[in-house]
Structure formats: C-alpha cells, structure tokens
Amino acid sequence: MVDHRAQVEDLLAGYRRSREQLGAVQRSLATVRETVTSDDGHVSVTVSASGTLVDLTISDDAYRVLRPADLAALIVGTTEQATARVTRQAGEVLAPVLPADTDPAALLRGTADLSAEELTPAPQEPPADLPDETFEDKSWMQSGGPRDARRV
C-alpha cells in the first residue's frame, strides 16, 4: 500500500527547499551591483542586477570639456558596459538554480525561450493613406460645427 501522506510530506519538503533556495537567490541578486568609470574619468555609473541605473557621478569639469551630446553618449556607453558586467555577475548567481541548458544572460535579457526569428522585429506596415489635410482658413462655427447639429 502506498503511503500518500509520506508522498505529500516529501512534496511539501521539496517545495519548501525550493522556496528557501529561491529566497537566497533573490537576496543574492539584490546585492549584485557593478560600477564602471569611463576611460576619461568624467562619468561613473553603478547598475543593479536588473540593469537599473542606481548611481551616476559626473565630474565637475565634464561640463566644460564635453559637449552635451558627447556627455550623454558617454553616460549611455558607460552604463552599457556596467550592464554587461552586472549581467554576467547575476548570471553566476542564477546558474545553480536554472536547468542545465538555460543561458542565464539570455534569461536576464528576457530572451531565454525565444528563437532568433521571434527576436527579429517584424517589418512595419506603411501607414494607411490618410485623407489629405487642408489648411484652409475655415471656422467650425460657420461650417456645420456643433451648433449646426443642434439646430436639426
């Protein structure tokens, strides 16, 4: 005779172990951060395991040395570097709890179970022809606007 109670207890124990392991992974991920400083030292960024920018430091002289567009590009590029590094760190934290054939970096990017075709954006349909707009000097009050509708 099969002892169903023992099977249920085993299942519940396995579930509790999985939950504890998941909690430990989440706590570890919450501590993962990566800070990168640009080569010229003007920008320093820190990102979290999810790639969220959590700190940004811009040197005082960056505003004098760099044009706004160049500073913006430097911030974005430095953030991309930090995000790539933190993704590797987060992948190392996740790898032990993932199935063997799962790519942790792809999972973190949200692309783990998508094929290359699914990741390629579909071609955009050209917008439907819209009626030609006219820029004539007309007033809705003189040509069938809301007041004309009330007179019916």
pLDDT for 43-85, tens place per residue? 999 999 888 999 999 999 999 999 999 999 999 999 999 999 9
What domains does the chain contain, in order, with CATH numbers?
32-112 (3.30.1310.10)
Residues 6+ apart with CB under 8 A from 97: 21, 22, 25
pTM value surpassing 0.75: no
Q: Mean pLDDT, to the nearest integer, of 97-107?
A: 80
What pLDDT does 21 receive? 83
In 3D space, the residue among 84, 79, 15 whose CA is nearest the CA of residue 46 turns out to be 79
Angle between helices 4-31 and 68-94 (to 10 degrees): 150
pLDDT for 17-51, tens place per residue? 888 888 888 888 889 999 999 999 999 999 998 88
Query: Per-residue confidence at 152, pLDDT binned at 50, 70, 90?
Result: very low
